[in-house]
Structure 1
């Protein structure tokens, strides 16, 4: 069934008339959702095309049992996927609203994006939606130059628009404290055989694999260890390269720290990432302090009354890097209409 289109002052929009049209559009929207980042590119989500919208379920078979045993980072990723889905719909002129944790009897149903009626997309929504396919984690070196204050202000604003905060730990003492925590967590994980085995499981050199972090998307080894130790992915034999000595680090914060807040944290994180991409910046994750409980408690104390940390971002001017692959929408979605046979 075709989708009715209406022309507005902002361009062509799509009007959802019935359940069949929701499902027909779902594949496009889920494709945008799956561009969200996830720990080790595990893609811990399953989507369901419904009559009134698209539901996202946590896929527990893709949780990291060592690095993320309680699913915090997985829920953050799913919150980011829900943000992409809602944003893509709105940018296409479709009214979309997200309900988080809609059914207490189905705890792995993390959210539903309901679609109905038309929406006049803003210029900002279009700009952020256009960044969805371009955003990817850049694990390669960044330039020494840091983003200026106007760009930082824009990223802080992006976090606030999703009811969160982005705290740049750029004051020398706080930066040194965070760098120490990152080095401590990285050392603990390198000494953890179970963690390293899990990391190797999701680090593949095969370009055709649709999840995990392939060697082509990993960064080269550092020429020398800097103040901040970045996670080493990949099995390639790239020559060492110098990394920036003082990266710009920002902590994504939420007011609370329950499962709902972690999903909101995913919204906050993703809006910041897309705003950074739209501004010509590169980003990557410094997840180690979130994954070692003793270090996570120290990070909580470091950010103090600002809020609850959900992830740490590295932001700057990166050299070109290749994105990680994604599973196609039809592989991760139920309820889609069958593909029409040719002829």
Structure 2
């Protein structure tokens, strides 16, 4: 592999693919700075896009940034830039979450080919808030997804029926709490887009991505519309036995959250390549007491960072992304 000097166009492409990552309410809470002379891409948290009600500790914000970081790694490997990552590289800059070194190399590192393999899934991955088939996920696919999480320092558990019931009840409890506390809905209202605004939005969840209302079934989906009307939305039956997976990390620090985000995106890209549709829910994880109860009841260890819903069904529509010029600065 020839050594390459990333130019502005290449770096803009990397950031565009990084920004295709999922984030809570599609807030896209990241900013990038490329230090051209040092060939380093810096990832910063954008606290103007934080959610003080739903995510007061910024855990979900860090997870979203971690997912963007993983996409940047994949895109850089695909471009032949041999990315090297340092998490939280400067304690004096708490908003600086990661530094991605792009030295280029004549010989690909062992992990680079595997990252490149995931590249086509970046643009194909979309959150699906539609019904999935009542069809099991093969064991070899489950093993691949568990291995993907493990490679980023996280665990992926496919809970048994009793544990699934518990998680579904916790999601319902979280919804009920929100219904009784109007202030709890402030973040969701800020990041949902209705009517003409949905057609021109560059962030948030537009009404065309809400999916149908749940008429029957038990899929753990947040209803982004709430009690607000959405034209021609309709309702339908969802799967009665949803396939859930719990992503967890041994610790619960900022570095763990960034690792969780990278693991999450690696799992989602692998799932996309395997033909699975995916959605995420953090609803039951936004309250400390409910989050504790989502743990594996047998092991009782680790910190659950995200609940994934997996299955066979329609891919959701692409949601809007901010222009690269709004999230990237290039410094000579």
- The normalised TM-score by structure 1 is 0.88
Which residue in 1 is equivalent to 2:317?
A: 322
User: 2:35–2:330: 8 Å Cα contact kept in structure 1?
Assistant: yes
- CA–CA distance in structure 2, aligned partners of residues 316 and 308 of structure 1: 24
> Mapping of 1:20-35 within 5 angstroms?
21-35=6-20
Q: Does 1:96 align with 2:83?
A: yes
- CA–CA distance in structure 1, aligned partners of residues 206 and 215 of structure 2: 21
User: 1:167–1:251: 8 Å Cα contact kept in structure 2?
Assistant: yes
- CA–CA distance in structure 2, aligned partners of residues 179 and 214 of structure 1: 25
Question: What is the DSSP-based 3-state SS (H/G/I as helix, E as strand, rest coil) of the residue aligned with 1:82?
Answer: helix
Which residue in 1 is equivalent to 2:131?
A: 141
Q: Deviations over 1:6-54 (max 9, x none)?
A: xx5xxxxx6334xxx3544210100111011000000000100113221
Q: Which runs of 4+ in 1 moved over 4 A?
A: none
Which residue in 1 is equivalent to 2:67?
A: 80
Q: Does 1:232 align with 2:217?
A: no
Q: 1:198 aligned to 184, 187, 208, which one? A: 187
User: 2:132–2:239: 8 Å Cα contact kept in structure 1?
Assistant: yes
For structure 2, list consecutive stretches of 5 or more residues without a partner in the other structure.
none
Which residue in 2 is equivalent to 1:116?
A: 103
- CA–CA distance in structure 2, aligned partners of residues 198 and 24 of structure 1: 34
> How many residues are paired up?
320
CA drift of 1:306 comes to 4.2
Which residue in 1 is equivalent to 2:247?
A: 252
> Mapping of 1:1-343 within 5 angstroms?
15-17=3-5, 21-51=6-36, 52-118=39-105, 119-120=107-108, 123-169=113-159, 171-205=160-194, 206-224=198-216, 226-234=217-225, 235-237=229-231, 238-300=233-295, 302=297, 304-335=299-330
User: 2:73–2:115: 8 Å Cα contact kept in structure 1?
Assistant: no
User: 1:189–1:195: 8 Å Cα contact kept in structure 2?
Assistant: yes
- CA–CA distance in structure 2, aligned partners of residues 83 and 280 of structure 1: 20
- CA–CA distance in structure 1, aligned partners of residues 254 and 248 of structure 2: 14
User: 1:58–1:78: 8 Å Cα contact kept in structure 2?
Assistant: yes
CA drift of 1:253 comes to 1.0
- CA–CA distance in structure 2, aligned partners of residues 24 and 175 of structure 1: 46
- The normalised TM-score by structure 2 is 0.91
CA drift of 1:279 comes to 0.7
Q: Deviations over 1:224-251 (max 9, x none)?
A: 2x33442112452311111111111111
Q: 1:336–1:147: structure 2 CA closer, same or farther, 3 Å change rule?
A: farther
